[in-house]
Structure formats: C-alpha cells, structure tokens
Structure 1
Amino acid sequence: MQVLWLTAHPGPRSLNGSLYREGVRFLEERGHAVRTSDLYAMDWNPVVTAQDFSRAAPGENDDRLVVGSAAEEAVRRGTLAPDITAEHDKLAWADTLIVQFPLWWYGMPAILKGWFDRVFVRGFAFGIHDSQGRQLRYGEGALAGKRAMVVVSAGAREASLGERGINGSLNDLLFPLQHGTLWYAGIDVVPPLLIHGADRMDGAAYATHTDSLRRRLESLPHTRPLPFRRQNGGDYDENLILRAELAPATATGLAVHYRTEAPDFPPGAT
C-alpha cells in the first residue's frame, strides 16, 4: 500500500500520538510506503480564505468570493496555495488514507475539518462529470479507487457508541465524514476502528488497542468496505431520493443509504 496517514491531536505524547507512531512503524516494517500529515505538528491553517486560490486573473471582478468556482479555477490554473497543493500531491500518490483523530463534541477537531475544507476542493476531490453530464460522486469521481479507514478515539465506553448507546452508533456519528466526504469523493471506506475508554486507559487496555490497530492495518487491503449505495447505481431517482422498492416506505434516516444485500457490515458496526 501507499498510505497517507492524516492525524489531528495537539499532544505528541498523547494516546493518539502513540498510536499514530505505532501504526506508521507497523506499516513501514511490512514494506508499505507511508507519508504523513500531522496537522498540529505542521501548524496547519484550517481557515479557507481568498488567498487559497490567488483567484482573480487580470481584469476579473474579485469583489465576491464563490469558493467552489474559485477553487475549481485555481486547480485548473495551478494557482492553489502551496500548502494545499502539497496535500493534493500526497493524496494523488496514496492509494489508502488513514484519518485519525479524537472524537470532540461528536465530530472532528476543527483543524481536521479545516483540512478537508481546504484540500477536498471542487476540481480536485469532486465536480467531475461523465459524458452524459451526470456528476460523479457517492462512489464515483476523482478519488475513486482509493480506500480509507477512520481511527477514532473516544472517552466513552464501547457499548455507549453502539446502536442503543446514549452517544449514538459510531457509524452514524461518522456519517458526515465517511459518507458525505470520503464516499462523496469516490473513496471506499472500510469500517472504522474505535479506541474507546481513551481517558482512563491502563497498560493492558493500551496493549489491546495497539493489537487491534495492527490487525486492522494488516487486513486493510482486503477488508470489505461499508456498503454505501452509489448515487448513479440505480438506487436513487432523478431527485436523488431512494427508490421505494429498496426500503419500506416507513424506513428513514441514515440506515437506508447502506445496501442491505451486504449484511456483514450493518450501519451500526463499530
């Protein structure tokens, strides 16, 4: 594999920092090539601004910033900010993306959200069309053929991030990232790895979690991805509404966007 390991934690001596170093070491020892983006160590700027795009050509009206079209034009012209271009080069090189972070208020740390805001821009990660003018997204598109795994730590107990847990199921919490960002750009997403009980971990628990990480990394090239439905696979109508025959009329929510013919990975799997 050619792996880009993307991580976001402010403490190098943290649990996340330790697991990050262990994971990279494990992959390299097994002959995989690894590049990294440690966002806090890089002092990554998470804020989208007009300067990301060097956007106006001579004579163009640059009073109003339309981020999507400005980004697409900057990709075409080669005028994106150098830090964004460097991340694009890493993503283009990689066939596998590891996204590692602590779960803060049910989502990613702001610095990581800002990485996706600035790096997954139109013209690079999405905005691709087929010969019929259909937009290629949700399983197709610019980053199709790559795969990703989310490694997320949480202070919560494992069961509380399950189907009936008070925190909600892990895959529901990660749906905006796994489905709405990675799958949207065409990336196959394998089931996430949860590092639970992160705030009260002893040596034995740490050994268990590092072993789980190693096993997941070892099997990553062969792990079946989450069975998300493709936008252009016939499951959705012209308004991108799931066809009635594929789920009961009463079925709503995130679970309907998983193919039921792949039962090994239910929506709430952790």
Structure 2
Amino acid sequence: MKAAVFHKIGDISVDTVEDPRIEHPEDIIVKVTSTAICGSDLHIYDGFFPQLKDQVMGHEFMGIIEDAGSGVSKLKRGDRVVVPFPIACGHCYFCDHQLPVHCENSNKEHYGPQGDMTSGKGGGLFGYTDLYGAYAGGQAEYARVPFANFGPRVVPDNLTDEQALFLTDIFPTGWSAIDWAQLKGGETVAIFGAGPVGLMAQKAAWIQGAGRVIAIDPVQYRLDMAKNTNGVEIINSSESDPIQAIYDLTQGRGADVCVDAVGMEADRSFLEK
C-alpha cells in the first residue's frame, strides 16, 4: 500500500509499505477514506518529538472496516468508522475513569507517571513516534486499529466524511478544554491561539454557554477566520499587549476562563525557546 512515511527531520515521502494485518483478536483493519494533517505532525517533522526509525504518519483518519479480529464484537466488516487519536484499551484504571489518553495498556514500552523526555509517557497514539507506542498512522491506504471494541465509532450514513473527520482529534481537543473549565453560563472565555484547535475551542465555548469569546493570536488571517467563522472578538497580540487588551474589553475584570490552544512552534524568540 501507499503511505506517508517519516524518514528523518524534514523528510516525509509517499512510499510503498507492507499492508497492515490483524495482530490481536480485537484489531480491525480500516480502508482509509479520509485523513488529515495535524499541526502536531509538525512536531515530528521538525524534530521536536524525536523519531529515529521510519514511521507511517497521521492520527486523524476514518474509513471502512476491511477486516476484523475474532474478538471484535461491537463492529463488523463494512462498517464506516471514525478513529480517535488516542489508543485505549477500555478497561484499565484510567479508561474506567474516562481518561483514555492515560491508558495503561496501549504504550507498554514507554508508559508511566514520570513524564520524562524518553519515558513516562501516556497511552499510545497513532503515527506519533516510538515514544507513544510505535503505531503506524492513518495517512495511508489502510491502517490497523487495536482495541477496536472501545475506540472507533460508527458514522451514521447521513454524515459525510468531511462532517465526521474532525471527531478524530481536532474538535474533541477544543471541546475538552472548554468542558474541563466547567462553564456555568455567561462567562468571558479568552482563547490563546486561533489555529484549528483554537477555532474548535471557540465553537465549543459558544455551545457550552459562554457569554463572550475572545480570540488572541499574532497572525491576522487566523483572527479574521475566527471572527468570520465563529463571531468572536479578536486581539492581535503582535500589535498590542493582549493582557491589557483583555482588561480593556472587560472593564478591568479580566477573563473568567483562559484556554491555551497554542502548539509547540509558538511565536517566541530563540532565548524563550
């Protein structure tokens, strides 16, 4: 099959690689119908997350189940599914407490509470280096999805791929930031970063009852997208002090909730990095 393969920093190419196969009874093989490129892929491409071996990229994908292991009971061949970025078993301590990103069973080699540079990581992630389980990603014709009874979700026929694809990563990420803030209704929410995840956090803030939503970013075209798409107030942090601007917009009170939706390649000087 064809797949986007990371070789070394700055080097990703479309190569012919071996087709995935069932390795565990709860595996499925998905024929990918839609996939996306995430800003987090740049962390690998730019070397922020080290990867010494070739790896198929991509953690935002969906498709049709081509094959299923003998232990798969909740899905079947032919089902159209969207696949979440985190890989989780569904029955460990953290999965039982609705924290699947911390799954204890999907990243055996590097799992742990320490959070070090090369060990003590969380659960497994598709296409996201050996540190997170060495799972091949979904920027490919086919992908193996483990723990299929827990992670993938069947997509209703009335939804297109474009309508469902963001459920892999980008929308749940923005939604979770607002969900964890536990809005009561009417709050002023300041969201730093107006990239794709920031846009989703803005949408989620409105849905969950925010009274005002303010987007802060140093790049004007992103702010224009946020304003036009989500009807938010905007602050260009390259033109004014964003903190003072928030005070000015809120009669000196400040925001009730602040969300950090900025990636690793933030607008910082060399010394700050």
TM-score range, shorter-chain basis? Answer: under 0.3
Q: Higher strand share goes to which structure?
A: 2
Q: Higher helix share goes to which structure?
A: 1
Greater RCO structure (CA 8 Å; 6+ sep)? 1
Calculate the TM-score normalised by the size of structure 2: 0.25
